[in-house]
Amino acid sequence: MRPTFLIVHLGDDDVLPAAMSGDNEELLRLFVDEAPVAIAMFDRDMRYIAASRRWKSDYGLDGSPLRGRSHYEVFPDLPEHFRARHRQGLAGEVVRHRLGQFAWKAPVELTRAPTFVEKSRLFPRTTFIIGVDTAERLFGPRYYDDDEARMHMALEEIASSGGSFLVAVRIDAAGRVRALADIPVPRRYADLFTEIPEHRFRFDTSSSEIRARTRP
In this structure, the answer to whether residues 72 and 117 fall within a common structural domain is no
CA pair distance 216, 214, nearest whole angstrom: 7
Report if residue 130 sits inside a domain: yes
Question: What residues does 41 pair with on adjacent strands?
Answer: 6, 50
Report if residue 161 sits inside a domain: yes
Report if residue 170 sits inside a domain: yes
Report if residue 26 sits inside a domain: yes
3-state SS assignment for residue 157: helix
In this structure, the answer to whether residues 152 and 199 fall within a common structural domain is yes
Domain enclosing residue 71, as ranges: 6-78
CA distances from 19 to 13, 91, 201 (A): 11, 22, 42
Report if residue 121 sits inside a domain: yes
Report if residue 106 sits inside a domain: no
In this structure, the answer to whether residues 152 and 197 fall within a common structural domain is yes
Q: What is the pLDDT of residues 76-113, one digit of tens each?
A: 998 887 788 788 777 766 666 667 766 666 667 777 78
First-residue to last-residue Cα distance in the chain: 12
- Overall number of domains in the chain: 2
Q: What is the pLDDT of residues 119-159, one digit of tens each?
A: 999 999 999 988 898 899 898 888 888 888 999 999 999 99
Report if residue 30 sits inside a domain: yes
